[in-house]
Structure 1
Amino acid sequence: MNNYKQMATASLLVASLVLSCRETQKPMLAKEISAINLKTGKVVLCGPEDKGVGKVSFIISGDDSTSKQFNFGIALLHSFEYDEAEKVFAQIIHRDPQIAMAYWGVAMCNFHPLWTPPEQPELIKGNKALEIARSINAKTNRESDYIQALSAYYKNWEKLDHRTRCLQYEEAMRKLSEKYPNDKEAAIFYALALDAAADPADKTYTKQRKAGQILNSLYPNAPYHPGVVHYIIHTYDYPELAHLALPAAEKYASVAPSSAHAQHMPSHIFTRLGMWDESIASNLASIEAARCYAQSAGIKGVWDEELHAMDYVVYAYLQKKDLKSAKQQWDHLNTFKEASPPNLKGAYTFAAIPVRYVLENRLWKEATKLTTTPAGFPMQQFPWQRGIIHFARLLGFVHLDQVDSAKQELGILKQLQQELLDKQKTYYANQVAIQINAAEGWILWKEGKPAAALEKMQLAADMEDKTEKHPVTPGEVLPARELLGDLYLEMKAPEKALAAYQANLEKHPNRYNGLQGAAQSASLCGNKELADFYARQLRAVTAADGKSIAGAP
């Protein structure tokens, strides 16, 4: 009996010490939490009344109410609704600062693995959130492992580059998923880490295929999990793999109908497969959801998610030769005075939509008049995007036989490439380098140097074939190998032009100018059957109410 009393007394003492510790930590945590500057306010979603974002079951410490709210935040996180997800995790922290995984959630919101690498304020916020998470004792070993795994990305962020830290995070998540083989979320986040760490130059897609195996093994038992279907799309967002993601692309929007990104993301696969009607429908829905969100959230100016969808829908309209609808989007773009946030996505859209319209339609005079500064947008911060406009101006001058003016634009492109190299933005510098080689090829052609011209244009096409497109774009403003086909046609070499167009159509199926160029080349080669085949494809692609044939021709 005395032993029982002693044990009871000891238990009460331990409990009181734990409570005392939690109470003494509160003012300390309050100061640290305030320093993070968490996003707060009402969670904003646009969509069906039930605000569907998918079904997630991530087990954490806390009562049922906390777990339910945490899973809501995780569902938002999986659809890249980072601002709203952070609000959810902030609400959990406000109610109970001892929920360590809520800080992990904040850090994940500021990592965004498949988007533009986080800027310094986001890295500071994520790192501080993880510091608090590590300091909290009231967490399970599994939660500690999640926190330590993400810490592998934020560790030494001041000294290590983004890719190195992504590789560290991938390895940490591999170990975590192996340690907890029955943890579905660990497997999903490991697949995401694999995609984030994938080498853009690896044409065997080793990491992506591994991620795909993981996600596809989970899909039968988790068909409404937003992360599973979403990451399948990202995993296979490559010309050679896109067909593998078509079922997920056709389903994702219905899994998370209240996410603007979920409405848009399927169009990545539709674009890869040349399914223009489906891409248009997807992006129009995304634009509507984005406008609703921006208005509800009080965003000043146009939200970047709307801009992103606009570029994709214009690209699709142009392939269907629906110039009226494409021009309406360009005109609407010109009404924006402010974009939020003023980031890479917005900069690309402001550059790409006008350039696509004039280049796809061979409006060379109009191309020479394009400007580089949309009203109220800091384009000077984005050399790659500015290069797109100067590339269009250069092609315009070349085709108008104004070689001196074209060379001036070439000089600007080289300056922009050097600026990117100086900033160690090697991927973007390579994108400009491709344009420089293509530009030099066309200038050399106009100067009467066909052999040198072909060498440069072939180099540009080969470089582009070895480089994956950035997720921000539905495709190059003009594919280099398609431009090579155009050059062969000017040189009156239809057989080689046909080969170039056909090779390009394998990577960019159902592109209008690719099909038209192939049809013209085949006709010039005397191959009426092949010319008729491409002509039929053109009619199918441009049909007003038709459905695109995935992967054709």
Structure 2
Amino acid sequence: MKKPTVTSLTLSLFILIAASCTQQSSSSEDTQLGDLQHSFSISDKASDSFDQGLLLLHSFEYDDAKEAFQKATEADPDELMAHWGLAMTHYRALWGLQDVEAGRKVIQAVGETKEARLKKAENQLESDFWEGVEILYGEGELDERNKGYADHMATVYAANPDNQEVAAFYALGLMWAGYTNQDNLNKSAEVAAGIISENPTHPGALHYMIHANDDPAYAQIALTAADKYANVAPDASHALHMPSHIYVALGMWNKVVSSNIASYQASLHRMEAKGLGGKERGYHAMAWLHYGYLQTGEYQKAADLLAEIIGYHQDSTASKSYLITMQNEQRIEAGYWAEGLTPQKVDYSQLGLSEKSAMHFFNGLLAFDEKDAAAIQLEIDGLNRQLSKASLLVNDEGIAMCSAGPTRYAPTKEGLKKTQVVIHQMKALLAQLKGDNVLTEDHLTQATQLESECSYDSGPPFIAYPSFEQYGDWLLAQNRPEEALTQFNQSLSNRKNRNKALRGKVAALEALGRTEEAKEVKAIISQFAPAQKVAVR
């Protein structure tokens, strides 16, 4: 027997969590993941697990969603939508972690041919959704399949404009097809907003609204969604983290910190409740929390978190990635290396240009501190080799070739350009160490010109020491505050309320005798960073 066509779901899962976790219900309360009003006809045997999986899927809690959909398929092997959900848990395209082979195995288990599988759909809606996974796991490069899925869901949406799940997966599909395409992002936000107007607690709609506006120019549009999402789905650790995408873009550093404390703690409670290993730790939230601490001037708290991840960095590829970026940011933002910590040499062979750039720049900065010009040159040479290798893997469209599988660490045209910025930054450090002001400025000028052509990075930036700030710091040292002020303002135009840029702006204004303006900037800093915790410039 099938469920009625429209259901209103508020998922109640009972899991053991510690009462001390902020934004988490106590161990005696139900877990909350949001509300759905879907019109799938799911069998009674599979419905509870399916509903659970769908809510988790919308908050990108993929592993837990996979468990739920697997239970649904075991409860009713003939429930096609349970297999659809299971296949979708392997398509983590916004993270660049899609597992095409695993998804294809799920599909093949339903039937040997596409025609045989589609015959199992009980209505047009099921057929339309199943057709979508056939496209995602079909032949062709990743970008081709993503565009095909978005086009397909556009057609389904046109035929079902009031169906919230059609709209939600259309909004997501638009971002898969073009996360750097502003038209796609605008349309995705528009579709998500339509869902929210009908169902303000739909976790997917709130989630996708944030992703579609994850840029300083658009972030204000999603601020209400960001503030609501963590309250709507407080027991999804990713939902607790996601608001900080908007908070970073708007320079709301205290909220960045609180969001990621909650998210990281939720990941620890999940590990404890499920008996999971270290690779399930919330490293993403941990890294964003570290960045938030640095922006709020909590340099010791940031150092403590860095010390913690040093102990975990062998757990997974992700932990290695975040360790590299965190230690680079620690040195840049604080202005010195954390006392008592040993810089870590991390194997980056399986990582991307962002991590490789961070590793070499970090080593270059430490060499600069030691006035070791030869060591800086070695880092420049090493990153140049990585850039040359990566350049061979990027096609004319600016994306990695042979991108059927995971693409998280695959090189892109944008990544190549940002790596060139970092190389110029290191060359500037080397020239500065040698006392060659002309060459220093030449490299800083080239770095800023290239960076001005680059897009915004969500969260902690690829170019961890924005070249505008590096140039501004150097100009201040040359007693050229007017030009330095221009550079700090340029950095702040794309990175609102960055602590280091604001402090540079204060120094430039004070050097120019513009004390009232300097006081205004100090007032901004005081909102999130206590004065007594100012870092070394």
Shorter-chain TM-score bucket reads: 0.7 to 0.9
Q: Percent identity?
A: 26
Name the structure 2 match of 1:380. 349
Residue 407 of structure 1: aligned partner = 377
The CA deviation at 1:144 is 1.1
2:208 — aligned with what? 231
Aligned to 1:435: 422
Contact residue 421 and residue 451 of structure 2 kept, 8 A: yes
Q: Which amino acid aligns with 1:249?
A: A
Residue 486 (structure 2) aligns with: 499
| TM-aligned CA deviation for residue 419 of structure 1 | 3.2
Q: Which runs of 5+ in 1 are unaligned?
A: 1-41, 545-553
Is 1:135 aligned to 2:122, yes or no? no
Query: For 1:83-482, what aligned pairs fall within 5 Å after superposition?
Result: 83-119=63-99, 121-125=101-105, 127-128=107-108, 135-136=116-117, 137-139=119-121, 140-156=123-139, 160-198=140-178, 200=180, 202=181, 205-304=182-281, 306-336=282-312, 338-339=314-315, 342-343=316-317, 345-363=318-336, 370-373=343-346, 379-384=348-353, 385-423=355-393, 424=400, 425-427=410-412, 428-471=415-458, 473=460, 476-482=463-469
- What displacement does 1:351 show? 0.8
Q: Distance in 2 between matches of 1:490 and 1:131?
A: 69
User: Is the Cα contact below 8 Å between 1:317 and 1:325 reproduced in 2?
Assistant: yes
With over 3 angstroms needed to count, the CA separation of the structure-2 counterparts of 1:490 and 1:311, relative to structure 1, is same
Provide the secondary structure at the position in 1 that maps to 2:94. Answer: coil
User: Is the Cα contact below 8 Å between 1:437 and 1:460 reproduced in 2?
Assistant: yes
Q: Is the 8 A contact 2:167 2:191 kept in 1?
A: yes
Report the counterpart of residue 9 of structure 2 in structure 1: none
- By how many angstroms is 1:62 displaced? 3.1
Match for 1:153: what amino acid? L
Specify the code of the residue in structure 1 equivalent to 2:130: I
By how many angstroms is 1:421 displaced? 3.0
Distance 1:43 1:460 in 2: 53
Distance 1:293 1:283 in 2: 15
| CA distance in 2 between partners of 1:346 and 1:474 (Å) | 17
Cα pair distance change 1:109/1:435, threshold 3 Å: same
Cα distance 1:367–1:445, how it changes in 2: closer, same or farther (>3 A)? farther
The answer to whether the 8 Å contact 2:72/2:82 transfers is yes
Cα displacement (A) at 1:484 = 2.2
Deviates more, 1:55-64 or 1:87-96: 55-64
> Conserved in 2, the CA contact under 8 Å of 1:268 and 1:474?
no
How many Å apart are 1:478 and its aligned residue? 1.7
- Name the CA distance, whole Å, in 1 between partners of 2:455 and 2:106: 29
174-183 vs 45-54, greater mean Cα deviation: 45-54
- The structural deviation recorded for 1:446 is 3.9
Contact kept? 2:186, 2:212, Cα under 8 Å: yes
Q: Name whichever structure is richer in helix by fraction.
A: 1
Structure 1 distance, partners of 2:465, 2:332, is 7
Equivalent-residue separation in structure 2 for 1:414 and 1:253 (angstroms): 42
Going from structure 1 to structure 2, the CA distance change for 1:134 and 1:105 (only over 3 Å counts) comes to: farther
Match of 1:79 among 48, 59, 81: 59
Q: Secondary structure at the match of 2:35?
A: coil
| Count of matched residue pairs | 490
- Whether 1:527 aligns to 2:508 is no
Residue matched to 2:21? none
- State the shift of 1:69 in Å: 3.1
SS at match of 2:349: helix
Q: In 1, Cα distance between the equivalents of 2:334 and 2:266?
A: 30
Show the counterpart of 1:22: none
Secondary structure class of the residue paired with 2:235: coil
Q: Deviations over 1:401-437 (max 9, x none)?
A: 3222111110111122233334443334444222112
**Counterparts of 1:84 and 1:527 in 2: how far apart (Å)?**
56
Give 1:302 deviation, angstroms: 4.4
Task: Pick from 473, 487, 507 the counterpart of residue 486 of structure 1.
Answer: 473
Deviation at 1:476, TM superposition (A): 4.2
**Segment of structure 1 superposing worse, 108-117 or 379-388:** 379-388
8 A Cα contact 1:111 1:126, kept in partner: no
Q: Deviation digits for residues 42-71 of structure 1, max 9, x if unmatched? A: 997854331111111222233345334322
Deviation at 1:383, TM superposition (A): 4.4
Task: Report which stretch shifted further, 385-394 or 306-315.
Answer: 385-394
- The letter of the residue matching 1:359 is I
Q: Is the 8 A contact 2:135 2:145 kept in 1?
A: yes
Secondary structure of 2:520's partner? helix
Asked if structure 1 preserves the Cα contact closer than 8 Å seen for 2:45 and 2:76, the reply is no
Whose radius of gyration is greater, 1 or 2? 1
Q: Measured at CA, do residues 82 and 131 of structure 1 come closer, stay the same or move farther in structure 2, by a change above 3 Å?
A: farther
User: Kindly tell me: are residues 119 and 452 of structure 1, through their superposed partners in 2, closer, same or farther at Cα, counting changes over 3 Å?
Assistant: farther
- Aligned residue identity for 2:500: N
1:509 aligns with 2:492: no
Per the TM alignment, residue 451 of structure 1 is displaced from its structure 2 partner at its CA by 4.4
Aligned counterparts of 1:445 and 1:265: Cα–Cα separation in 2: 40
Q: Offset of 1:225 from its aligned partner?
A: 0.6
Contact 2:216-2:494 at 8 Å conserved across structures: yes
Relative to structure 1, is the Cα distance of residues 123 and 66 closer, same or farther in structure 2, using a 3 angstrom cutoff?
closer
Give 1:291's aligned amino acid: L
334 and 72 in structure 1: CA distance in 2 versus 1, 3 angstrom threshold: same
In the aligned structure 1, how far is the partner of 2:168 from the partner of 2:442?
A: 45
When residues 127 and 467 of structure 1 are mapped into structure 2, their CA distance, relative to the original with a 3 A threshold, is farther
Distance 1:485 1:335 in 2: 35
Amino acid at match of 1:109: T
Say whether the 8 Å CA contact 2:472–2:485 is kept in structure 1.
Answer: yes
Counterpart AA for 2:513: G
Question: What amino acid maps onto 1:146 in structure 2?
Answer: F
